[in-house]
Amino acid sequence: MSWNARKTVGFTEAFAPDFYLPDQDLYIELTVMKQSPSRARTAKLRKLREQYPEIKIKLFYKRDLERLAQHFRLDLAS
pLDDT in the model for residue 12: 62
**Closest listed residue to residue 19, CA positions, set 49, 47, 58:** 58
Among 3, 51, 55, 49, which residue's Cα sits nearest to residue 25?
55
Using CA of residue 48, residue 15, residue 57, residue 46, what is the dihedral sign?
A: negative
Residue-wise pLDDT for 6-65, tens only, equals 555 555 667 789 999 999 999 999 887 666 656 777 888 888 899 889 999 999 888 898
**pLDDT over 80 at 4, yes or no:** no
Cα separation, 43 vs 54, in Å, equals 18
Q: Answer for the pair 29, 57: CB distance below 8 angstroms, yes or no.
A: yes
Q: What is the pTM of this model?
A: 0.69
